[in-house]
């Protein structure tokens, strides 16, 4: 959660830059301009827009990642799998 909260404003700026120009006109001259314009219009809250759903999504996503990692680690615990003719 700390990781997401500390980097989320950069993600918001990146997303807004990616969407810039989709309507045919460009609003931003670059990342710094995007940051300044968004901060002026929305304040600090605008830079954290969408953080709540992102944090809620992080819990199940990371739970699945750790579960699959554990399964794969246990699978390869005795060394890499090798294919033999008996596996047909």
Name the domain count of the chain.
1
Is 34 a member of any domain?
yes
In this prediction the pTM is 0.68
Number of other CB atoms surrounding residue 31 within 10 Å: 13
CA distance 25 to 6: 30
Helix axes 31-47, 2-19, angle to 10 degrees: 130
CA 47/CA 53 separation, integer angstroms: 14
Whether 31 has a pLDDT exceeding 80, the answer reads: yes
Q: Which residues contact 48 (CB under 8 A, 6 or more apart)?
A: 5, 8, 9, 12
**Does a structural domain hold residue 62?**
yes
User: What range defines the domain where residue 18 resides?
Assistant: 2-79
Mean pLDDT of the chain: 89
Is 12 domain-assigned?
Answer: yes
Residue 30 has pLDDT above 90, yes or no: yes
């Amino acid at each position: 959660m700390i990781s997401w909260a500390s980097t989320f404003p950069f993600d918001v700026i990146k997303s807004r830059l990616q969407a810039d120009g989709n309507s045919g006109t460009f609003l931003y001259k670059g990342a710094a301009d995007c940051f300044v314009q968004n901060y002026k219009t929305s304040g600090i809250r605008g830079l954290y827009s969408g953080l709540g759903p992102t944090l809620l999504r992080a819990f199940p996503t990371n739970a699945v990642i750790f579960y699959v990692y554990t399964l794969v680690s246990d699978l390869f615990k005795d060394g890499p799998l090798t294919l033999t003719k008996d596996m047909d």
